[in-house]
Amino acid sequence: MTDTAAAQPEPFDPRATDAEIQDLRARLRATRWPDAPEHAGWSLGTDVGYLRELVEYWADGFDWRAQEEALARLPRYRVGVGGLRIHVVHARAATGTVEPAMPLILTHGWPDSFWRYTKVVPLLTDPGAHGGDPADAFDVVVPDLPGYGYSDPPPQPLDSIAAAGLWAELMTALGYERFGAAGGDLGSHVSRYLALDHPGRVVAVHRMDAGLPVFGGDPAELSPEERDWIQSAMAWGATEGGYAAIQRTKPQTVAAGLTDSPAGLAAWIVEKLRSWSDSGGDVERSFTKDEILTNLTIYWLTGTIGSAMRMYAANAAIPPAQLARRVEVPSGFSIFQGDVVRPPRAWLERSTNLVRATEPPRGGHFAPFEEPELYAEELRAFFRPFRAAPG
């Protein structure tokens, strides 16, 4: 793939073959189950009892063809940038909304893909049809990160800085010089570097988290709230960060098992959907089985769990000086009540040009999927003052 293809987005409608679906079901039915201590539940990782229930439904109840049809209703393309074919949802504002609509690029994280934003696309492109103001419409761009979903895996792991550079090229290819950026998890990281490295193009940036804290100065300079937050983040890493240590250091080791076993893939991902969402311990309070399995099936069919995890290894090599840079582009945060490692306002003010920070009462790490109406309203409210700026 050469960069000369960058100007021509190609319509994209991937469909699994019958053989791929049959192979998936056969693997699920042949799962070799681990034992588990009595009454372990979720305390040691994924609950084997729940996993059995999910896998049985994946094998004999889940209708991937119906999910394919639903995803096909989104305007999906592949765009050549940086020598890679990037899969992107490019949904323009509904006819009759204020023109020109504000372009907005939304970046997902791990362990998901463009799936994270599928519910909010219509709310953002046509707010008038969903109880909002038509003047708040966006042209929405939702790419899969390289090595995630239907985007090509890069030859070598790419970090968030490189991904931000690709997104700048992508927005040029789609005809947008100025735009807003938003994201969570790795998508927060990428959106941050878009604002840092392309401040003349990013009108404003909205994030759902501030990442894990990195501070190389005198701790006495920090507020008590900031010091408490850093301590809590370290404690969270000690009890919940095993996945990240593996993905930073030895992703290929677990990739062998997760690429071969759909039950293993489900165990690796569903535990995060449960513990990072506002689920109260019941994953199906935040996601239906069909929604969980749509995310998992995208990973399975594309074979991207390994390439997705490798981004952690690339990000681990980002120099501390990059992590310490302050974002001067106008910044907003929605810190959802059910998310993990929630930063205090003092840290947001220290690290960004903060213009708005809210704490929505519901939703967690996957808020665009868990609470799409609430998340869409957060974006509308934040970007409203910046609508005169895009070009």
Q: Catalytic site residue 77?
A: no
Residue type, 313: A
Q: Catalytic site residue 87?
A: no
At residue 8, the pLDDT reads: 85
Report CA 11 to chain centroid distance, whole Å: 22
Q: Which two tokens stand for residue 322?
A: 């990059």
Which of 185, 209, 278, 339 is an active site residue?
A: 185
- The DSSP line for 45-88 is SS-HHHHHHHHHHHHHT--HHHHHHHHHTS-EEEEEETTEEEEE
CB-count burial class (<10 Å; 0-12, 13-18, 19+) for 224: exposed
At residue 216, the pLDDT reads: 78
- The DSSP line for 103-121 is EEEEE--TT--GGGGTTTH
Measured distance between the N- and C-terminal CA atoms of the chain, rounded to whole angstroms: 29
Helix (H) or strand (E) holding 345: helix 345-351
Q: Catalytic site residue 198?
A: no
- Cβ atoms of 317 and 159 within 8 Å: the answer is yes
At residue 3, the pLDDT reads: 44
Which of 90, 108, 198, 365 is an active site residue?
A: 365
* Nearest one of 232, 244, 301, 236 to 268, comparing CA atoms: 244
CA distances from 376 to 38, 104, 127, 372 (A): 43, 12, 9, 6
Alpha carbon distance 305, 308 (integer Å): 5
Which of 77, 299, 312, 375 is an active site residue?
A: 312
69-108 b/e (C-beta count within 10 Å ≥ 16 → b): eebeebbbbbbbbbebbbbbbbbbbeeebeeebbbbbbbb
The CA R_g of the chain, rounded to the nearest whole Å, is 20
Q: Which domains are delineated in the chain? A: 3-386 (3.40.50.1820)
Q: 10-residue block means of pLDDT along the chain (391 residues)? A: 58 98 98 96 97 98 98 98 97 82 98 98 96 94 98 97 98 97 98 98 97 83 92 92 96 98 98 97 97 98 98 96 95 97 95 97 98 98 84 48
- The DSSP line for 279-317 is -TT-GGGT--HHHHHHHHHHHHHHT-HHHHHHHHHHHHT
Q: What is the pTM of this model?
A: 0.96
At residue 7, the pLDDT reads: 58
